[in-house]
Amino acid sequence: MFNNYNVRVSPKATLGKNVRIGDDSVIYDNVVIEDNVTIAHNCIIGEPLNDYYTNPKYENPITIIGTNSLIRSHAIIYAGNKLGDNVSTGHRITLREYNFIGHHTVIGSSADIDGNVSIGNYCRIYSNVAIAPFSKIGDYVFIFAFAVLTNDPYPPSNDLKGCTISDYTQIASHSTILPGIKIGSNCLVGANSVVNHNVADYSLVLGNPAKIIMDIRKYAILGKGRLYPWMYRFERGMPWENIGYENWMNRDSELR
């Protein structure tokens, strides 16, 4: 994968130490790849914006791939994206221009993040998720396959309004979040829901249109007990791994 075959790196790109670029990958102007980053094969990093096609004086905006990140093959990452440290992605992701992706966040295969989106730290955006421009996603948010965040309240319009998804919230497969909707923290949106009203913290919502079923803290399964908030029972890849959420929360905020 790393045979330096057909690799093309712009002389205006900046590569840190211990950076590996896979075969057939292209790095455009003004891309900064920090230390210990792996870009797998067939990736395009710093894809030029629309203006490039018609403006001979076009200059590519800065793109940053944070340290220790892994970008799997066939990614298209437009110019203007800023990815934090320890980001990892599946194959064939599309990041349109000017997204901000936090540290330790995972972006699944074929996810489509459509530009001017902000995603926090330690999120997992699974495969085939589509996120419209101007969406804002907090930290520790998980969004599952084929979920969509929309932004046009009465299509077609120019009155685009991104959704807001707060910390620790889980959005199951095939859900649609309607334009401008705010979903609180620690919510669970069930599979195939259509969310057309704002949702308070700690809500379990389901259906088309989505209805509040209960406070998620009361949700229990026979033999398992109460399951939410989930941070007390799930640690893999989270900053409280091997420490426990409670201990981690009780640390000084500087150490977190």
Residues that bind its own copies (CB under 8 A): 1, 5-6, 8, 23-24, 26, 38, 41-42, 44, 47-48, 52-53, 70, 73-74, 76, 91-92, 94, 109-110, 112, 114, 124, 127-128, 130, 132, 142, 144-146, 148, 150, 152-158, 170, 172-174, 176, 178, 188, 191-192, 194, 207-208, 221, 224, 227-228, 230, 233-234, 236
- What are all long-range contacts of 102-106, with beta carbons under 8 Å and residues at least 24 apart? 102/139, 103/66, 104/237, 104/239, 106/237
Q: Quote the least distance from Cβ 252 to its own copies, whole Å.
A: 26
Nearer to its own copies, 64 or 144 (CB): 144
Nearer to its own copies, 30 or 255 (CB): 30
Inter-residue contact 106 to 89 (CB < 8 Å): yes
Nearer to its own copies, 231 or 243 (CB): 231
Nearer to its own copies, 62 or 145 (CB): 145
Nearer to its own copies, 98 or 144 (CB): 144
Angle (CA) 112 107 23, round 5° = 90
Q: Quote the least distance from Cβ 39 to its own copies, whole Å.
A: 11
Cα–Cα distance for residue pair 89/126, rounded to 1 Å: 9
Nearer to its own copies, 242 or 253 (CB): 242
Q: Quote the least distance from Cβ 254 to its own copies, whole Å.
A: 27
Contacts of residue 238, defined as CB under 8 A and 6 or more positions apart, other chains included, come to 122, 140, 231, 245
Contacts of residue 47, defined as CB under 8 A and 6 or more positions apart, other chains included, come to 28, 76, 77, 78, 79
Please give the helix or strand (H or E) that residue 124 lies within, else none. strand 124-125
Cα–Cα distance for residue pair 159/7, rounded to 1 Å: 42
Q: Quote the least distance from Cβ 103 to its own copies, whole Å.
A: 18
Q: Quote the least distance from Cβ 221 to its own copies, whole Å.
A: 7
